[in-house]
Structure 1
Amino acid sequence: MTSLSVNINKIAVLRNSRGGNEPDVATAARACIAAGCAGITVHPRPDQRHIRAEDVFALLPLLAGTELNIEGNPFAPAQGTYPGLLALVRATRPTQCTLVPDGDAQLTSDHGFDLRRDGERLRPLIAELQSYGCRVSLFMDAGSPDIARVADLGAERIEIYTGPYAQAFALGDHAAALAACVVTANDAHDAGLGINAGHDLNQNNLLTLKQAIPFLDEVSIGHALIGEALYAGLAATVQAYLQILRD
């Protein structure tokens, strides 16, 4: 079955908007784990707009048997109490590290890597991250011509950026965007890579993607899941996503 990793950044956004510790990131993660998710995803950024480095350390005691996926830009420098992605991974030893080419000016991740530009810069960083015992995944655009290069650089997986697919699905014309995701997944599969997917996936569009890519290893879902949980409850929403993935 395709694994569900719940991105809990939005819990931290709510907390940070008020100060203090409510809602509590660790309590939210515990509820998601109890509901059956296979992983917890966090994406700490240097500007600390949501998840912070200290949150990651607080999560570690909760994660026995649950994967931790840390996302981030390996090129972003340390800033304030953010130690930099590689230093954080070295200290926390997550199951997976997903490298994403985002910057502080981006509201959210909105494109994958261009490996013709960044590939050789990534190669030694991928090797270093793997030396800390974690699986490395690269955030890649659907339709990217660089998928085979991911394997050459040593990473084990890609995460398909599904934002364009989700947007097209909402507009009722998703065939081309879905086809691009399928081609990218097949290219990755042929290169011996695992396939993750994430960004703007929700209960409406997830099943169509899963049916088109039956060998999908993992989906990382945060924004929609947390939004839906405001109405249905966190545990019930996690279980609804798990049922979609089982179906």
Structure 2
Amino acid sequence: MRKNVYVTPKSFLCLIDFYKVLYAIKYDEINVQERSVNVGLQKLKEASEFVEKLKVELKEQDVVLRAEEKKTTALLEKVMAEKAKADKKAEQVNAQKADCQAEADKINGEKAEAQIELDKALPFLHEAESACNSITKKDITEIKTNNKPVDIIKLTFDGLQILQSKPVISVKVDDKLINKVTASFIMDSYEEFSKKDLQDMNFLNNILDFAANEKDNINDETCELLEPYLRFDEDVAKNWSPWPFKARPSSS
């Protein structure tokens, strides 16, 4: 059997109250959802605006970046060009360094050879200085009073004339007697020049002063002029034979 249900005014009012409560609940839920959606939409809008702003900034930055890229490229090209120049300069410097080193080695070699020659020459220099310092006024007086000095003395005075850059006669061939051997040699300048210099009161002092202070001024030309007077061969038999050997006095 069916059961009849009757709606009374009270039950109807209760139903209406229930619906009102339900409506309020649903209304609040919808409002919450609406607010959430609105907040989300606002954030999306802000994000969109921010993205647009970033796009503008990116375009501006892109222009700046392109300009900086051009500057960087130009700078890099300049750096590479300068590096190429520096590398070339370094090669030149290395080449010059090698040349300088070679020149230095050459100079050192020549210096070593010169030192060897100097070491050989020093004993002769010391011997010459000792001989020069041993000359006395008495020796000079004896030479002055000697009307016919031997040829070796005359030639020695020629050497003094040349060393002191004083005049000598023009080169002529003359027979000289040295160590009891006669041979052709250079004519001496004793009568023309040296004999007159001997009359100078300061002759000995001038020689000593030259030995002490002016010997370092002897140049290649002087050595060349002296060379014929200084030739010497270790073979005693050749010490005073015809040209080209040196006239050398006897050791006795």
Class of the TM-score when normalised by the shorter of the 2 chains:
under 0.3
The structure carrying a bigger strand percent of its residues is 1
Normalization by structure 2: what TM-score?
A: 0.21
The structure carrying a bigger helix percent of its residues is 2
Normalization by structure 1: what TM-score?
A: 0.21
Identify which of structures 1 and 2 has the higher relative contact order when contacts are C-alpha pairs closer than 8 Å and 6+ apart.
1
